[in-house]
Amino acid sequence: MTKTIVLTGITTTGTPHLGNYVGAIRPAIAASKDPTVAPFYFLADYHALIKCQEPERIRQSSLEIAATWLALGLDTANAVFYRQSDVPEILELSWMLSCVASKGLLNRAHAYKAAVADNEQSGENDADKGISLGLFGYPVLMAADILLFNVNKVPVGKDQVQHIEMARDIAGRFNHIYGEHFVLPEAVIDEHGATLTGLDGRKMSKSYNNTIPLFEPEKKLRKLINKIKTNSLEPGEAKDTEGCALFSIYKSFATPAQVTEIRQRYADGIAWGEMKQVLFEQINEHITPARERYEALLNAPEHIEMQLQEGAEKALAISVPFMKELRKAVGIARIGT
Ligand code: TRP
């Protein structure tokens, strides 16, 4: 059976929150248990350098993200779970791809264009002010992550679809010049990996500062849930589930039968305080076993490192010979070989 190769990277700049869990981590871990899928999941620490120049934050985030995935039961027997910087071939390939990617293509990347637009809006003379070469080349590094492992499918949010298209474009050019070396990857926009509502009713996102960290200790979790915005309807007044942040979050952690029951309680006028208690218990119950494993893992970082080293070995077993082939293809070789 040929397995579908699925790859995703997680930039190591923050602490995973409930939105990351529902939108990306939970579906990825479910996929890691699917025998028809060969998953490649990695800590994108080279990508982290593009937007973060705080070494301690990158170190801490790498630890927390790795511990999170392991605590949630990632099947590392099936999945290749590694740190990007343990696979230097990614950088080497990134250079080769830089030499076939057209600058005009990268000029059109959303992240770069948004940075230029910000400069223009603020009346800046230099449209490129504060934009690093790393940011400009971000899609090439991402293409290298993907093409090095001949990935078939890349689950992404809508904001990343353009990057996958660029990876296809760059792969096509390389293949055209040097022969068929790369598989063209496809973006899969995950429909179940729903977006979660945040504390203020907008999408839960680090950039809105409205997140609930995934493994927040119980007391703090309760406090944050109490902060979720509601309207001013009194207990006993019928309430609408539509547009309600509490309900929307509840739905992501409940069975369909539980959701039906809660709809009825809204119609019957459940008090907001009570609904917050229901939501807290639901999430807390769901998260507690993984939170315990997470805390144990943070106290045994050598165990996390060992898992990453095993992952790196599996990745290198593919990347090293493939890079040899690619070097040969472009004409980089020892004399006389
Ligand atoms: N750019 C992705 C993000 O910010 C992270 C990432 C890096 C990635 N390399 C990747 C995602 C390769 C998918 C495939 O979310």
Q: What CATH number has the domain spanning 4-194+301-330?
A: 3.40.50.620
| Mean of all residue pLDDT scores within the chain | 95
Dihedrals phi, psi of 182, to nearest 5 degrees: -110, 140
- For helices 161-178 and 133-147, the axis angle rounded to 10 degrees is 70
Q: Tell the CATH topology of 215-296.
A: Tyrosyl-Transfer RNA Synthetase (1.10.240)
- Sheet bearing 186-189, strands edge to edge: 80-83, 37-44, 4-11, 153-156, 186-189
Question: Residues 2, 37: contact at Cβ < 8 Å?
Answer: no
Question: Residues 169, 184: contact at Cβ < 8 Å?
Answer: no
**pLDDT above 70: percentage of residues in the chain:** 99
Report the distance separating Cα 162 and Cα 158, nearest Å.
8
Ligand 1 pocket test, pick from 46, 87, 135, 163 with the greatest ligand atom count within 8 Å of Cβ, gives 163
Residue 192: predicted pLDDT: 57
Residue 191: predicted pLDDT: 64
Ligand 1 pocket test, pick from 17, 142, 150, 170 with the greatest ligand atom count within 8 Å of Cβ, gives 142
Residue 16: predicted pLDDT: 95
Residues of the chain with CATH 1.10.240.10: 215-296
Burial of 40 (0-12, 13-18, 19+ CB in 10 A): buried
E-strand spans in the chain? 4-11, 37-44, 80-83, 153-156, 186-189
Indicate if the pLDDT at residue 226 is higher than 80: yes
Residue 195: predicted pLDDT: 82
Nearest CA to ligand 1 atom 13: 8
Report the distance separating Cα 93 and Cα 83, nearest Å.
16
Indicate if the pLDDT at residue 193 is higher than 60: no
Residue 336: predicted pLDDT: 85
Which tens digit of pLDDT belongs to each residue from 235-257?
A: 999 999 999 999 999 999 999 99
Question: Residues 323, 290: contact at Cβ < 8 Å?
Answer: no
Going by C-beta distance under 8 Å and a sequence separation of 6 or more, which residues neighbour residue 92? 323
Report the distance separating Cα 257 and Cα 296, nearest Å.
33
Q: Which residues pair with 197 in a beta bridge?
A: 203
Which tens digit of pLDDT belongs to each residue from 22-78?
A: 989 999 999 999 999 999 999 999 999 999 999 999 999 999 999 999 999 999 999
Question: Residues 28, 155: contact at Cβ < 8 Å?
Answer: yes
Report the distance separating Cα 234 and Cα 41, nearest Å.
47
- Quote the ligand 1 centre to 142 CA distance (angstroms): 6
In the predicted model, what is the mean pLDDT of residues 16-24?
Answer: 93
Residue 136: predicted pLDDT: 97
Cβ–ligand 1 distance for 44 under 6 Å, the answer yes
Nearest CA to ligand 1 atom 10: 9
Which residue from 10, 104, 14, 24 is spatially nearest to 61, judged by alpha carbons? 14
Reported confidence tier of residue 1, pLDDT bands at 50, 70, 90: confident
Indicate if the pLDDT at residue 320 is higher than 70: yes
Question: Residues 159, 136: contact at Cβ < 8 Å?
Answer: no
Residue 157: predicted pLDDT: 83
Which tens digit of pLDDT belongs to each residue from 105-128?
A: 999 999 999 999 999 999 989 999
Cβ–ligand 1 distance for 304 under 6 Å, the answer no
Question: Residues 195, 17: contact at Cβ < 8 Å?
Answer: no
Which residue from 11, 20, 48, 23 is spatially nearest to 215, judged by alpha carbons? 20
- Quote the ligand 1 centre to 314 CA distance (angstroms): 20
Q: Which residues pair with 154 in a beta bridge?
A: 187
The residue length of the chain stands at: 337
Residues of the chain with CATH 3.40.50.620: 4-194+301-330
Could you tell me how far CA 322 lies from the centroid of its own chain? 26
What are the Cα distances from residue 281, in Å, to 218, 266, 272, 286, 319?
10, 17, 14, 8, 45
Tokens matching residue 223: 């406090």
* Half-sphere exposure at residue 138, Cβ-oriented, CA atoms within 13 angstroms: 24
Could you tell me how far CA 264 lies from the centroid of its own chain? 35
Give the number of the atom of ligand 1 that is nearest the alpha carbon of residue 10. 5
Ligand 1 pocket test, pick from 13, 40, 47 with the greatest ligand atom count within 8 Å of Cβ, gives 47
In the predicted model, what is the mean pLDDT of residues 87-109?
Answer: 98
